[in-house]
């Protein structure tokens, strides 16, 4: 009897123990970047109880031993795992087909894409990594409505709701901060980015000045730096191409066991020698470090620092005869560009409550750009053996801060975001005249320095801004956003030269002010169909070079751009993909024009107005798990409404370098029978456009085919990209002036190969 009682007691205890819930915990991280994923939802399928990952990607949940757990996060493929077989680290894969991704650039804070009334695209780490890019246009141009033109050596021009341009119409950001101060825009500034440390790239199309201030007119490109991975990890990649390009990428990262301290350091060294274009060598070394410290559950401190040293030859563009005869010899053999920079940002992220959060950023930047520019070399018509040019250097140091507070008012279903920014940037510029020698073939073969100083001045730039944004969710699936920003600029100019100098403008103080509002709304139906509309304003104060290059300081006002747009998206049934479309109209006024004066001189004036209109569309289609089709394109019209220089009147003309059609299409295949293999075929199309504002001649445009192969097994990866597989002769930009036609040569057929290895605790 005693034995039976003991047996029953043992059985009851065993049953009770087996029936008890168990506590499971773990961490969730991105499969590719291995960074912790914050806000992932873990659902117990038996009870529908759930929990959410914390700032370190950690979670804890009580479940039955046989429970099935579901893992969900916007922008990632859903996972289902049994609790008893749960690994300590769960890897989630980015789902590039999810339309309502998590974005940050629309509000400087994390929010769902469906809440943002603007055209915005997020290029995820998976797309960047699989493309194996050698320069940024190879992924930026996948965004509909965007054309980033390659000028070689990671140099570029941009077109987003504007013609292909070197003007300060586009804002380039790193983690929400401009990488250069207002007033000294550089159209090549994206060559200052560390491609190997980009977690994702967000592209805003249309004005974003109500949040980010000046120059966010055609659009803004925000590079978001990857966070340190949860586990120790190291990656190395070697790549090269058939035209002398070589590059080494390296990354080390990890987080301590207690999740407090995370560190990553990564960068690359790239060089090209003896490229397809004469005098086009370059060398770039860039490194970025990220240090994160989780002080407690509500306070996190992050430092991100980047150092870069860059050198490139500056070959000449080609005339029409050289271009079509495939004579890629440069007219110059000594022109160059050199950059050395350092930038560092400290970020304090304080969460007061689940509804209240403050983010403060303090930054420092220093940047020196020295060059002997090929575009400044002019012939001496009195002596064919000589020409003239200049050697110059521009430099700045920046000290600044951005403070933003986000407050959710749950009873009103409202979020209020208020912020302030300050940027103090002392800048210098000097230029010396040089005498240039020409040979019997008209090539510029050398130069002699002189004591003649063309420019030597300092401008202390101060920009302060206040902004506020209100986001209201009055009824389910309807979001209304209203925002406004007030900016104030002070340009304190000191000339070190006399009034007789080439740039002899007197010492002066210039002030500019701008108020930029926006208003928009989004609504999403239950069937996945959504709409948005917005009105936004962008502005651009005069550049330093537009104010102080001459002998007097012109009276100028900021240029102003007003934009109206509507858009829609539709998530296809059965997870087949999605469709999005946007239509916009934008008008620019007070644009700065160099106007002929009565005495024969030219002076900058606010005398121009332009009209910009277009449709942008994209389709992502997935017929099955192995095939992915992406179609994207835009039709635009860019015209002068009023643009009279006193010598020429462009009013009513089509703007130069403004193709009507731009498209980028790609089909990707990842076969089930060969895991880790991928291949894609991409078509880039740019239609014809006028070379000049007088509309006298057109460039025919081009079609490019790119073919990519890649294979990954465990930590090893190899790839082959064949760019421009038809070897089409094309120019990334063509312009026409009184001196002739200028063609910026596009790369011929190029074979790119690479090999990489990643090692981590998970592998």
Bigger pLDDT: 354 or 585?
585
Assign 258 a pLDDT band (cuts: 50, 70, 90). confident
Return the ∠ at Cα 683 (arms to 221 and 119), rounded to 5°.
30
Burial 187-224 (b: 16+ CB within 10 A, else e): bbbbbbbbbbbbbbbbbbbbbbbbbbbbbbbbbbbbbb
Q: What is the mean pLDDT of residues 589-597?
A: 78
Q: Which tokens sit at 246?
A: 């070589």
Report the pLDDT value the prediction gives residue 494, as an integer from 0 to 100: 95
| Chain mean position to CA 687 | 24
Q: Is the dihedral of CA 179, 338, 153, 543 positive or negative?
A: positive
Query: Do the Cβ atoms of 404 and 417 come closer than 8 Å?
Result: yes
Q: Which tokens sit at 759?
A: 């090692």
Q: From residue 756, give the alpha-carbon distance in Å to each of 135, 137, 723.
A: 18, 22, 20
Q: 605: which strand partners?
A: 593
3-state secondary structure (DSSP) of residue 2:
helix
| Pairwise CA distance, residues 63 & 84, whole Å | 10
Report the pLDDT value the prediction gives residue 164, as an integer from 0 to 100: 94
- Residues whose CB falls within 8 Å of the CB of residue 383, separated by 6 or more in sequence, listed in order: none
Give kind and range of the element (H or E) at residue 210. helix 209-212
- DSSP state at residue 315: P
Q: 145: which strand partners?
A: none
Q: Is the dihedral of CA 186, 192, 193, 196 positive or negative?
A: positive
Which of 378-386's residues contact partners 24+ apart within 8 Å by CB, and which partners? 379/438, 384/438, 385/437, 385/438, 386/435, 386/436, 386/437, 386/438
Query: Do the Cβ atoms of 615 and 567 come closer than 8 Å?
Result: no
Report the pLDDT value the prediction gives residue 503, as an integer from 0 to 100: 81
pLDDT digits (tens, 9 = 90+) for 132-152: 999 999 999 999 999 999 999
Report the pLDDT value the prediction gives residue 603, as an integer from 0 to 100: 74
**Given the DSSP bridges, would you call strands 170-174 and 219-225 parallel, antiparallel or unpaired?**
parallel
Query: Where are the strands (E) in 473-601, listed by range?
Result: 478-495, 508-524, 529-540, 559-571, 577-596
pLDDT of 550 above 90: no
**Prediction pTM value:** 0.90
Query: Do the Cβ atoms of 128 and 135 come closer than 8 Å?
Result: no
pLDDT of 24 above 70: yes
Q: Is the dihedral of CA 102, 107, 108, 110 positive or negative?
A: negative
- DSSP state at residue 63: E
| Pairwise CA distance, residues 291 & 251, whole Å | 14
Widest CA span in the chain: 124
pLDDT of 355 above 70: yes
Residue in the block written with tokens 């004036």: 605
| Pairwise CA distance, residues 751 & 201, whole Å | 26
Residue in the block written with tokens 């790839």: 719
Q: Which tokens sit at 2?
A: 């005693």
Q: Which tokens sit at 525?
A: 């139906």
Q: State the Rg of the chain over Cα.
A: 28
- DSSP state at residue 113: G
Q: What is the DSSP string of 156-198?
A: EEEEESS-SB-SS-EEEEETTEESS-TT---TTGGGGS-GGGE
Average pLDDT, the chain: 89
Q: Which of 82-96, 473-487, 507-521, 712-726 has the lowest mean pLDDT?
A: 82-96
Assign 600 a pLDDT band (cuts: 50, 70, 90). low
| Pairwise CA distance, residues 568 & 468, whole Å | 26
Q: What is the CATH number of domain 222-760?
A: 2.40.170.20
Q: What is the DSSP string of 596-632?
A: E-TTS-EEEEEEEEEEEEEEEEEEEEEEETTEEEEEE
**Closest Cα to residue 255, out of 479, 55, 437, 95?**
55
Q: Which tokens sit at 615?
A: 């449709």
Give kind and range of the element (H or E) at residue 140. helix 137-140
- Residues whose CB falls within 8 Å of the CB of residue 309, separated by 6 or more in sequence, listed in order: 284, 285, 286, 339, 340
Enumerate the domain spans of the chain: 20-92, 222-760
| Pairwise CA distance, residues 744 & 732, whole Å | 6
Alpha helices in 510-590 (DSSP H): 544-548
Query: Do the Cβ atoms of 741 and 320 come closer than 8 Å?
Result: yes
Query: Do the Cβ atoms of 508 and 544 come closer than 8 Å?
Result: no
pLDDT of 521 above 70: yes
For 636, list phi and psi in degrees, rounded to 5.
Answer: -135, 160
Q: 755: which strand partners?
A: 238, 718
pLDDT of 74 above 80: no
Report the pLDDT value the prediction gives residue 98, as an integer from 0 to 100: 47
pLDDT of 207 above 70: yes
* CATH class held by domain 20-92: mainly beta
| Chain mean position to CA 450 | 40
Question: Of the ranges 51-55, 235-239, 737-741, which is most confident?
Answer: 235-239
Q: What is the dihedral of CA 269, 273, 275, 278, to 10 degrees?
A: 130
Assign 17 a pLDDT band (cuts: 50, 70, 90). very low
pLDDT digits (tens, 9 = 90+) for 501-514: 778 888 999 999 99
Q: From residue 302, give the alpha-carbon distance in Å to each of 363, 392, 405, 697.
A: 12, 36, 17, 53
Report the pLDDT value the prediction gives residue 762, as an integer from 0 to 100: 59
Query: Do the Cβ atoms of 620 and 97 come closer than 8 Å?
Result: yes
Report the pLDDT value the prediction gives residue 581, as an integer from 0 to 100: 96
pLDDT of 383 above 90: no
Q: Is 498 exposed, middle or buried (0-12, 13-18, 19+ CB in 10 A)?
A: exposed
Report the pLDDT value the prediction gives residue 55, as an integer from 0 to 100: 67
Report the pLDDT value the prediction gives residue 99, as an integer from 0 to 100: 44
| Pairwise CA distance, residues 272 & 270, whole Å | 7
């Amino acid at each position: 009897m005693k034995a039976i009682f003991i047996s029953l007691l043992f059985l009851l205890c065993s049953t009770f123990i087996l029936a008890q819930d168990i506590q499971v915990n773990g961490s969730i991280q991105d499969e590719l970047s291995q960074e912790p994923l914050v806000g992932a939802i873990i659902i117990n399928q038996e009870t529908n109880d759930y929990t959410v990952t914390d700032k370190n990607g950690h979670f804890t949940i009580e479940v039955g031993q046989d429970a099935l757990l579901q893992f969900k996060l916007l922008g990632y493929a859903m996972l289902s795992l049994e609790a008893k077989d749960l690994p300590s680290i769960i890897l989630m894969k980015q789902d590039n087909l999810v339309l309502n991704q998590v974005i940050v650039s629309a509000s400087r804070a994390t929010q769902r894409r469906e809440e943002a009334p603007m055209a915005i695209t997020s290029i995820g780490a998976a797309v960047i990594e699989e493309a194996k890019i050698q320069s940024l246009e190879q992924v930026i141009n996948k965004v509909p409505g965007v054309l980033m033109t390659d000028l070689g050596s990671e140099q570029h021009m941009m077109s987003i709701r504007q013609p292909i341009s070197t003007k300060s119409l586009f804002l380039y950001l790193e983690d929400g901060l401009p990488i250069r101060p207002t007033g000294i825009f550089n159209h090549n500034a994206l060559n200052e980015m560390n491609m190997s440390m980009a977690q994702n790239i967000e592209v805003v199309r249309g004005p974003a000045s109500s949040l980010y201030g000046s120059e966010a007119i055609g659009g803004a490109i925000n590079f978001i730096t990857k966070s340190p991975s949860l586990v120790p990890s190291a990656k190395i990649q070697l790549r090269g191409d058939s035209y002398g390009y070589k590059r080494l990428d390296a990354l080390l990262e990890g987080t301590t066991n207690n999740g407090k301290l995370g560190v990553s350091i990564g960068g690359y060294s790239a060089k090209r020698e003896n490229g397809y274009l004469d005098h086009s060598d370059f060398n770039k070394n860039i490194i970025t470090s990220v240090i994160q410290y989780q002080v407690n559950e509500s306070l996190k401190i992050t430092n991100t620092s980047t150092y870069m040293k860059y050198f490139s030859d500056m070959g000449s563009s080609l005339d029409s005869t050289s271009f079509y005869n495939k004579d890629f010899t440069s007219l110059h053999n000594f022109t160059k560009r050199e950059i050395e920079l350092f930038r560092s940002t400290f970020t304090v992220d304080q969460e007061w409550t689940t509804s209240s959060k403050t983010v403060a950023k303090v930054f420092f930047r220093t940047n020196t750009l020295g060059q002997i520019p090929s575009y400044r070399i002019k012939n001496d018509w009195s002596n064919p053996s000589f020409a003239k040019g200049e050697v110059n250097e521009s430099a700045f140091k920046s000290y600044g801060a951005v403070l933003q507070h986000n407050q959710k008012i749950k009873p009103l279903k409202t979020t209020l975001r208020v912020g302030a920014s300050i940027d103090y940037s002392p800048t210098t510029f000097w230029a010396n005249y040089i005498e240039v020698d020409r040979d019997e073939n008209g090539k510029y073969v050398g130069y002699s320095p002189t004591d003649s100083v063309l420019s030597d001045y300092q401008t202390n730039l101060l920009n302060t801004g206040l902004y506020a944004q209100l986001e209201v969710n009055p009824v389910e699936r309807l979001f209304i956003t209203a925002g406004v920003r007030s900016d104030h600029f002070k340009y304190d100019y000191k000339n070190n030269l006399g009034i007789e100098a080439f740039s002899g403008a007197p010492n002066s103080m210039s002030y500019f002010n701008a108020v930029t509002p926006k208003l928009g709304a989004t609504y999403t139906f239950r069937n996945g169909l959504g709409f948005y509309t917005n009105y936004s304003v962008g502005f651009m104060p005069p550049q330093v070079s537009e104010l102080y290059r001459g002998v007097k300081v012109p009276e100028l006002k900021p240029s102003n751009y007003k934009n109206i747009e509507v858009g829609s998206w539709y998530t296809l049934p059965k997870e087949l993909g999605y469709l999005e479309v946007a239509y916009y109209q934008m008008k620019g006024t007070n644009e700065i024009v160099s106007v002929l004066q009565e005495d024969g001189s030219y002076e900058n004036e606010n005398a121009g107005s332009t009209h910009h209109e277009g449709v942008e569309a994209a389709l992502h289609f997935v017929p099955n798990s192995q095939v992915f089709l992406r179609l994207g394109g835009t039709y635009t019209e860019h015209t002068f409404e009023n643009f009279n220089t006193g010598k020429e009147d462009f009013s009513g003309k089509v703007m130069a370098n403004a193709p009507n059609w731009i498209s980028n299409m790609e089909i990707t295949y990842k076969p089930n029978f060969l895991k880790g293999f991928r291949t894609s075929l991409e078509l880039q199309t740019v239609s014809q456009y006028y070379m000049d504002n007088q509309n006298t001649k057109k460039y025919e445009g081009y079609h490019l085919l790119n073919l990519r192969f890649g294979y990954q097994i465990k930590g090893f990866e190899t790839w082959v990209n064949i760019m421009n597989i038809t070897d089409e002769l094309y120019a990334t930009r063509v312009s026409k002036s009184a001196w002739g036609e200028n063609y910026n040569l596009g790369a011929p057929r190029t074979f790119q190969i690479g090999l990489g290895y990643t090692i981590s605790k998970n592998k």
